[in-house]
Amino acid sequence: MNVLFVCTENVARSRAAEALFRELQGRAGGHNVRSVGTASHAARRLTTRDLAWAHVVAAMEPRHLDVIRQHWPHHAEKVMVLDVRDLFLPDEVDLREALESKIRALLERCDPRLRADVPASPLATVNSPRQSGGLRCIRGA
């Protein structure tokens, strides 16, 4: 599965989420992961190609979902909002703490081998009404 993390500048939150996702899935993990930002000055800016590549898009805030809805409405259904506000510096311990449980829940949803009650379909996984694990799953429409 391809997972895309989105924040504003691709400096702290989405990069930290990408690194933490890689770490938690381990070497045996079969998921691909990238991070991008929505701002015009982002270190790596969100593109149509990124959204087409992604099976799951994990946005840090509702405003990132709004950008995707506005410019790429047909990709909005892949988006889940993690609710991690822009309060952190890149290497802050508190950022890792804010992300870790949400990334663990996302990994469980991405890998049906980890939980028997999670469907294998990427969109069903993202939008599943089952236990959210602290994630706010929002269907884009």
Q: What is the CATH number of the domain that holds 111?
A: 3.40.50.2300
- Domain membership of residue 75 as a residue range: 2-126
The two counts, helices (H) then strands (E), for the chain are 5, 4
Residue 121 token pair: 């379909």
The burial of 97, by beta-carbon neighbours within 10 Å (0-12 exposed, 13-18 middle, 19 or more buried), is given as exposed
Is residue 36 in some structural domain? yes
Is residue 66 in some structural domain? yes
The Cα–Cα gap between 63 and 9 comes to 13
Is residue 22 in some structural domain? yes
pLDDT, tens only, 50-107 = 999 999 999 999 999 999 999 999 999 999 999 999 999 988 999 999 999 999 999 9
Least confident range from 11-20, 73-82, 105-114, 115-124: namely 115-124
Which helix H or strand E contains 20, and what residues bound it? helix 13-25
| 1-16 mean pLDDT | 97
Is residue 141 in some structural domain? no
For the chain, the domain total comes to 1
Is residue 7 in some structural domain? yes
